[in-house]
Amino acid sequence: MNAIIIAAISGVIMMFSSVFINNKGAYRHIAAVLLLVLLGANIADTYGHHFFHIDVKGMLRFDRFGFLFNSIAIAATFIYVVLTGRSMEKIGKYTAEYFVLIFFVLCGICVLGCYNNLLMLFLGIEIMSIPLYILTGADKRNLKGNEAALKYFLMGSFSTGLMLMGITLIYGATGSFALNGIQLSKAMGGTSPAAGGPFLLESVGLILMLVSIGFKVSAAPFHFWTPDVYDGAPSVFTSFMATIVKAAGFIAFIKLFDARAGGSSVDVNAYTGVDWKMLFAFIIVATLLVGNITAVFQQSVKRMLAYSSIAQAGFMLFALFSLNDLAKEGLILYAAAYSLATIGIFAILVKMKDYTFEGYNGLGKTQPVLAAANTIFLLSLAGIPLTAGFFAKYYMLASVVKTGSYLWLVIVGVLFAAVSVYYYFRVIQAMYFKDGESETEEVSTGFKTGLVILAAIIVLFGVLPQSLLNWFYF
Amino acid sequence: MPIQYYIALASALFCIGVVGVLTRRNAIIVFMCIELMLNAVNLLLVAFSKMHYAKAAAAGAVTTAGTEGQLFVFFIMVVAAAEVSVGLAIIVMMYRNVHSVDVNFLNRLKN
């Protein structure tokens, strides 16, 4: 509760700071301080210090999983603001308002971390999405930005419509919006798939929810908006959208389907009449295929990262496929590893003058620190050992192995991870083994230090993943 | 009226909305179709809410069953209003730059 309320208040404070303070540089310092306060409040909440006592009537449920994810999201946003806050000042006149919107997005993410009712799921996703539509179109004169904002908005509200229909049908079948109430109809009637009536409504409802959240996390075949939006939006905001927001979508996703399966995954198929495992397996393979294969052919690093984010979404979907404890731990680790590495890569990308692969030629000579940090981030995304990405992928695949079936899915995952190495290494190859004068904007020492610290965190999680996951239990 | 009629009407409205979103190119009309989808959902929510109330009332006892469905409708209306304000602003921003609200127009400009 602390995080939700303080995030909203922080947004309002930022709004007023734009009225009273005219110094552009001051905004990101205020935002960084507020984010630290937010992080502190959330950690205090985790250990039982509640600043606000509100009866939520069971619509929100506060557990370690949600708190841990919220802490990661807030910490990642802090790193994001510290590294790229300065670049935000170049986009438009309204720097403070961008931070306001980021705080409101965080508020939505915190709701998603602990929702226990479909109404809160809907509100969380909307609180998260609406500010993002504005951020996407922040660069008002840029036609590509306009297109991205329009596409993102239309696709976003379309998928919201689908989700609402899904929620309504589930409500019709079960008479409740509570997350654990979804299983109600199983208790009311038999478990045979041919029962019809409420079962049909419920299956259709759940499939609509699946489609809608598939849109939100850009899983194939609902990914087509992603490359245009990520490419068209200002790079600083793409960084935010592709990482923290996407991870939050997955957290919402896993909470929903975890409650549905209720721990056991056997009778789910029987009572909805849909083979869920097969459906998820299809989505995973399609997402990995589309993301990885298309990323290979990109010329622009930014667009390659857009497709790579689809490919990484494919890996996060493994957690939704297996839905066990290992999957939950793995998803948290994956969210942290993927978000931090991608934030780092984007922080370097916005400093580049040229976004194509050629633009990185010779970066190893002109900016050795940037190139070294970028290498670590790319290795982490590719899943090379000693980086956080390795254990993230390991947990994902291990969770599927633990379910005991669909082992071919693990093999497919490993093969596509190998494909992904190709396009990540193209950047590394350009930086170190090709001659050229890659031009960057002015890089401050503070920025370099930030990157080194971020790279160190990623290596730390790669060597000791338990340093993050133990927070579940202590 | 039996609940099936409401389900049929709401599904029809919803499908018209979905088809409209997928086929039309005018941003304003796409937007209207999305609103149509949301309103189909509202109608169905109210119908289900009534259905759950009637079911609980028939079993005896005064009940509040089904009120949450109607409350949900208010939330949808509020959020839809917020979405409209942002969406129309985005469409106006696009119109100012290219003097068109055709969804595919920007695609053509890019090449």
Give the residue among A96, A162, A98, A107 at the shortest CA–CA distance from A129.
A107
If you measure CA to CA, which chain A residue comes closest to B93? A140
Nearest CA in chain B to A146: B94
| A146: contact with B, CB 8 A cutoff | yes
Quick one: pLDDT at residue B58?
86
- Put simply, the answer to whether B65 touches A175 (Cβ < 8 Å) is yes
**Closest Cβ opposite residue A161 in set B38, B87, B109:** B38
Band of residue B106 on the pLDDT scale cut at 50, 70, 90: low
Q: Which residues of B touch A164 (CB under 8 A)?
A: 37-38, 41, 76
Longest dimension (CA), chain B: 67
Query: Is A80 in contact with A454 (CB distance < 8 Å)?
Result: no
Lowest mean pLDDT among A70-79, A258-267, A402-411, B81-90: A258-267
- Better pLDDT: A403 or B111: A403
Contact criterion met (CB < 8 Å) for B75 and A171: no
Q: What are all long-range contacts of B50-57, with beta carbons under 8 Å and residues at least 24 apart?
A: B51/A172, B51/B3, B52/A175, B55/A175
pLDDT in the model for residue A273: 59
Nearest residue of chain A to residue B89 (CA atoms): A134
Average pLDDT, chain A: 88
* Structural contact between residues A193 and A270, judged by C-beta atoms closer than 8 angstroms: yes
Instruction: Report whether pLDDT(A212) > 90.
Output: yes
- Touching check for A122 and chain B: CB below 8 Å? yes
Nearest Cα neighbor of A371 from A389, A383, A384, A359 is A359
* Pick from B45, B75, B106: CB nearest A143: B106
Contact state of A133 with B86 under an 8 Å Cβ cutoff: yes
Q: What percent of chain A has pLDDT over 70?
A: 93
Nearest 10 degrees: Cα torsion A212, A108, B27, B38: 60
Q: Is the Cβ–Cβ distance between A344 and A377 less than 8 Å?
A: yes
Amino acid at A463: V
Residue type, A134: I
The nearest CA of chain B is from the CA of A144 a distance in Å of 8
Mutate to test the interface with B, among A157, A158, A167, A169 (most CBs of B within 10 A): A157
- 8-state DSSP, A243: I
CA distance A203 to A190: 15
pLDDT reading at A184 higher than 60: no
CATH class assigned to B3-110: mainly alpha
Amino acid identity of residue A59, one-letter, is M
d(CA B104, CA B111): 12
What is the per-residue pLDDT for B109?
55
Contacts of A149 in chain B (CB under 8 A): 90, 93-94
Which of A133, A146, A161 lies at the smallest CB-CB distance from B94? Answer: A146
Q: What is the helix, strand, coil percentage profile of chain A, to 5? A: 80, 0, 20
Can you state the percent helix, strand and coil of chain B, rounding each to 5? Answer: 80, 0, 15
Over the stretch B50-64, which tens digit does the pLDDT of each residue have? 998 888 888 877 778
- Cross-chain residue pair A172–B93, CB shorter than 8 Å: no
User: For residue A178, how far is the Cα from the chain centroid?
Assistant: 24
Bridge partner residues of A113 (DSSP): none
Q: How far apart are CA A34 and CA A28, in angstroms?
A: 10
pLDDT of amino acid A188: 45
**Is it the case that residue A55 has pLDDT exceeding 90?**
no
Q: What pLDDT sits at residue A440?
A: 83
DSSP label of A11: H
Q: pLDDT-derived band of residue A204, with 50, 70 and 90 as boundaries? A: confident
Q: Which positions in chain B touch A303 (Cβ < 8 Å)?
A: none
Closest alpha carbon within chain B to A228: B107
What pLDDT is stored for residue B64 in this prediction? 80
User: CA A272 to CA A200: how far, in whole Å?
Assistant: 7
Q: What ipTM score was computed for the predicted complex, to two decimals? A: 0.94
Max avg pLDDT among A16-25, A176-185, A277-286, B6-15: B6-15
> What average pLDDT does this structure show over A354-359?
88
Confidence of residue A201 (pLDDT cuts 50, 70, 90): confident
What are the tokens at A87? 């670049």
Chain segment A3-29, per-residue pLDDT in tens: 999 999 999 999 999 899 888 889 999
pLDDT of residue A278: 84
- Look at A40-54, A198-212, A233-247, A253-267 and tell me which has the smallest mean pLDDT: A253-267
Q: Structural domain boundaries of chain B?
A: 3-110
Cβ separation B27–A154 shorter than 8 A: yes
The closest alpha carbon to A249, from A334, A324, A147, belongs to A334
Contacts of B3 in chain A (CB under 8 A): 172
Q: Which residues pair with A60 in a beta bridge?
A: A115
C-alpha B47/C-alpha B53 separation (Å) is 10
Q: Binning pLDDT at 50, 70 and 90, where does residue A266 land?
A: very low
A421–chain B nearest CA distance, Å: 31
pLDDT at residue number A187: 42
CA distances (Å), origin B21, targets A104, A160, A220:
28, 13, 19
Residue A208 near residue A161, CB atoms below 8 Å: no
Residue A100: pLDDT band (50, 70, 90) is very high
A384 touches A376 (CB < 8 A):
no
E strand segments, A161-297? none
Q: How many CA atoms lie within 13 A of A301 on its CB side?
A: 30
| A109 pLDDT tier (thresholds 50, 70, 90) | very high
3-state secondary structure at position A343: helix
pLDDT of A450 strictly over 90:
yes
Using the 8-state DSSP alphabet, how is residue B1 labeled?
A: -
- As separate numbers, helices (DSSP H) first and strands (DSSP E) second, chain A gives 21, 0
User: Does residue A185 register a pLDDT over 90?
Assistant: no
| Average pLDDT, rounded, for chain B | 89
Decide if pLDDT at A354 tops 80.
Answer: yes
Whole-angstrom distance, CA of residue A206 vs CA of residue A453: 42
Q: How far is A148 from chain B (nearest CA, A)?
A: 10
Tell me whether A300 touches chain B (CB under 8 Å). no
Q: What is the pLDDT of residues A315-325, one digit of tens each?
A: 999 998 888 88
pLDDT in tens, A241-259: 999 999 999 999 888 888 7
Spell out the residues 6+ positions from residue A29 whose beta carbon is closer than 8 angstroms to its own: none
Cβ–Cβ of A137/B90 closer than 8 Å?
Answer: yes
pLDDT, average across residues A365-386: 92
Contact with chain B for residue A165, Cβ under 8 A:
yes
- Test B41 with A153 for CB contact under 8 angstroms: no
pLDDT for A438 beyond 90: no
